[in-house]
Amino acid sequence: MANNEDKFKKIIAHAKEYGFVFQSSEIYDGLAAAYDYGQYGVELKNNIKNYWWKSMVQHHENIVGIDAAIFMHPTTWKASGHIDAFNDPMIDNKDSKKRYRADVLVENHIAKIEGKIEKEVKKASKRFGENFDEQQFVSTNPRVVKYKEQIESIKNRLYSALEEERLDDVKSLIEELGIVDPISGSRNWTEVRQFNLMFSTQLGSLSEGANTIYLRPETAQGIFVNYLNVQKTGRMKIPFGIAQIGKAFRNEIVARQFIFRMREFEQMEMQFFVRPGEELKWFEYWKEQRMKWHLEMGIPQSEYRFHEHDKLAHYANAAFDIEFNFPMGFKELEGIHSRTDFDLKSHQDHSGKKIQYFDPELNDSYVPYVVETSIGVDRTFLAVLSYSYTEEKLEDGSERVVLKLPPFLAPIKAAVLPLVKKDGLPEKALEIFDGLKYDYMCFYEEKDSIGKRYRRQDAIGTPYCITVDHKTLEDNTVTIRERDTMKQERVGIDKLSEIIGAKLKFNG
Ligand code: GAP
């Protein structure tokens, strides 16, 4: 644990030192849970968005993209259920003055009991060696069975209390379980209250009787309200999808862990419209497709897992998360939700506009069902960054930090470096830079020793460094150094574009 925390701190420091992520408004001591992407961060982020867009929109003949406004008619949020149900139950500790999500406090308590089960399993597996049957052990060992019953009973009580809005019982549960404030150790809790996560603002001037509007808490509603527009103008036939990338805003109670949980963040969402009754088939399809997308980045399966929701959102009839092994443990990265016809039906009711699809094969009209894939750009960024961050001890005893980013996501694809700052080498290097810059994001630098320049490129994940030396002037060859192996090869300048291009291929 201490090690992972340490690693997380190093990644955050690295992200700042190398221009990936800065605290928002840092010169004013920052604004909590808001972050700015720096010169390399924005490139990595754009490449992630581009990878998603290509794989969802360009690679599917039946998915199109849109870009809806952040501001939407206030009734949107009544229809979507966000005004009534987009709440988190919160509780304050009177001593530490810290605010927590009450359900998360209970879930953390459950995680502790799960930890105890894991310990028992480990102990037993050591004791029984090769003959150990984990399945049998967890279903028969009295201590483990007792822990499992405890977990089941806590979960039942928590989720039924939340569903039925019995917040006093959530508080009683916290008290009965003896849950203490993780900071102060105090049990001096306030009542549990609901806290709506939407930010509101005023449209128009107050003197004109301004209207309250909300910053969208998910991009999905921009897609639902445009369903008819896109279906008609795009002559889309079910099943089809609408994709969108954009900002979303949530007034998170507990916003921490760097860019994992922010109040302003970006989502990449796709709503897939299907025939009623076929939604679970498509749900399985998209679960598998989305996992493939993650693995295509070269990050192994062991870093991902599916997690089935215990408690379904008000609109869903099935929901899975793809969790990633972040430095702070496995946490949600993406959600795949079967949203039924809840949203379109509700918009139909609230707007009075008929939102239906005439299915020529069935010769019938219906409100389509929706399977949604929803992933955070910032969380994907954090997943890729933390997986890529590598500290290496080299053969000569020195150390380097290298970001082993998938090459197609790297901010800079090639750095062009003259060996020395004289003898016509900078001019030749700039000529090479100019030849590559229209196809690839390149970088030119002549300051410092070549070793230092290599290290800086390693630290931002540049797959190739191209070094121009005196021999280049004689025979138009350069050395090209590969980031991960650090191997250098002498190649003709005319081969560079092909070599770089080959490294950047992805299937998605
Ligand atoms: N339209 C469905 C929806 O918004 P969600 O599970 O609430 O579902 C989807 O959010 C994804 O958005 C999450 O899996 C996560 O990657 C990202 N996300 C949600 N809240 C976030 C936050 N406060 N900061 C960063 N990313 C967030």
pLDDT digits (tens, 9 = 90+) for 131-174: 899 989 999 999 999 999 999 999 999 989 988 889 999 999 99
Judge if the beta carbon of residue 223 lies within 6 A of ligand 1: no
Give 409-448 pLDDT, tens digit per residue.
999 999 999 999 999 999 999 999 999 999 999 999 999 9
Measured CA angle at 157 (ends 375, 316), to 5 deg: 30
Q: Please state, in angstroms and rounded to a whole number, the distance separating the CA atoms of residues 312 and 149.
A: 22
Query: Directed axis angle between helix 496-503 and helix 425-436, to 10°?
Result: 50
Residue type present at position 117: I
Nearest-CA neighbor of 11 among 441, 465, 334, 381?
381
Kindly give the distance from the C-alpha atom of residue 172 to the centroid of ligand 1, in angstroms, as a whole number. Answer: 29
Give 166-175 pLDDT, tens digit per residue.
999 999 999 9
CATH topology agreement for domains 1-72+197-395 and 87-196: no
Give 474-495 pLDDT, tens digit per residue.
999 999 999 999 999 999 999 9
Query: What do you get for the CA distance between the two ends of the chain, in Å?
Result: 34
Q: Tell which atom from ligand 1 comes closest to the C-alpha of 380.
A: 16
Judge if the beta carbon of residue 253 lies within 6 A of ligand 1: no
Judge if the beta carbon of residue 375 lies within 6 A of ligand 1: yes
Query: What is the band of 223 on the pLDDT scale with cuts at 50, 70, 90?
Result: very high
pLDDT of residue 256: 75
Judge if the beta carbon of residue 264 lies within 6 A of ligand 1: no
Residue 504 CA, distance from chain mean position: 22
Give 362-382 pLDDT, tens digit per residue.
999 999 999 999 999 999 999
Q: Across 10-139, where does the E strand assignment appear?
A: 21-23, 35-37, 63-66, 87-92, 99-101
Query: What is the band of 505 on the pLDDT scale with cuts at 50, 70, 90?
Result: confident
pLDDT at 456 over 90: yes
339 and 357 Cβ atoms separated by less than 8 Å: no
Judge if the beta carbon of residue 220 lies within 6 A of ligand 1: yes
Judge if the beta carbon of residue 88 lies within 6 A of ligand 1: no
Query: What is the band of 207 on the pLDDT scale with cuts at 50, 70, 90?
Result: low
Query: What is the band of 507 on the pLDDT scale with cuts at 50, 70, 90?
Result: low
Q: Tell which atom from ligand 1 comes closest to the C-alpha of 332.
A: 14
266 phi and psi, to 5 degrees?
-125, 140
Q: Please state, in angstroms and rounded to a whole number, the distance separating the CA atoms of residues 173 and 281.
A: 38
pLDDT at 344 over 90: yes
| CB neighbourhood size of 54 (10 A) | 13
Give 22-51 pLDDT, tens digit per residue.
999 999 999 989 999 999 999 999 999 999
Judge if the beta carbon of residue 334 lies within 6 A of ligand 1: yes
pLDDT at 4 over 90: no
Nearest-CA neighbor of 417 among 400, 429, 435, 402?
429
Q: Which two three-digit tokens encode residue 82?
A: 């966000």
Q: Tell which atom from ligand 1 comes closest to the C-alpha of 220.
A: 1
Kindly give the distance from the C-alpha atom of residue 375 to the centroid of ligand 1, in angstroms, as a whole number. Answer: 6
Judge if the beta carbon of residue 338 lies within 6 A of ligand 1: no
Considering only CA atoms, which residue is closest to atom 16 of ligand 1?
A: 376
Q: Which two three-digit tokens encode residue 109?
A: 């308590």
Lowest mean pLDDT among 66-70, 492-496, 504-508: 504-508
Q: Which two three-digit tokens encode residue 240?
A: 């089809």
Judge if the beta carbon of residue 14 lies within 6 A of ligand 1: no
Give every CB contact of residue 154 below 8 A, 6+ residues apart in sequence: 106, 109, 110, 113, 173, 177
pTM of the predicted model, to two decimals?
A: 0.88
Measured CA angle at 491 (ends 487, 495), to 5 deg: 120
pLDDT at 208 over 80: no
pLDDT at 1 over 50: no
How many alpha carbons lie under 13 Å from residue 423 in its C-beta half-sphere? 11
Mean pLDDT of all residues in the chain? Answer: 94
pLDDT at 2 over 60: no
Q: Which long-range contacts (CB under 8 A, 24 or more apart) does 157-161 make?
A: 158/103, 158/106, 158/107, 159/310, 159/311
Give 264-293 pLDDT, tens digit per residue.
999 999 999 999 999 999 999 999 999 999
Kindly give the distance from the C-alpha atom of residue 305 to the centroid of ligand 1, in angstroms, as a whole number. Answer: 17
The domain locations on the chain are 1-72+197-395, 87-196, 412-503
Residue 258 CA, distance from chain mean position: 12
pLDDT at 392 over 60: yes
Higher pLDDT, 196 or 3: 196
Higher pLDDT, 208 or 274: 274
Kindly give the distance from the C-alpha atom of residue 500 to the centroid of ligand 1, in angstroms, as a whole number. Answer: 34
Q: Across 159-301, where does the E strand assignment appear?
A: 193-196, 200-203, 211-214, 240-249, 264-274
Judge if the beta carbon of residue 457 lies within 6 A of ligand 1: no
Q: Which long-range contacts (CB under 8 A, 24 or more apart) does 111-114 make?
A: 113/147, 113/150, 113/151, 113/154, 114/147, 114/151
CATH fold group of domain 87-196: Herpes Virus-1 (3.30.40)
86 and 324 Cβ atoms separated by less than 8 Å: no
Q: Which CATH class is domain 1-72+197-395?
A: alpha beta
258 phi and psi, to 5 degrees?
60, -135
| CATH match of 412-503 with 3.40.50.800 | yes
Pocket of ligand 1, candidates 101, 216, 267: which has the most ligand atoms within 8 Å of its Cβ, to mutate?
267
Kindly give the distance from the C-alpha atom of residue 253 to the centroid of ligand 1, in angstroms, as a whole number. Answer: 14
Q: Please state, in angstroms and rounded to a whole number, the distance separating the CA atoms of residues 479 and 486.
A: 11
Judge if the beta carbon of residue 267 lies within 6 A of ligand 1: yes
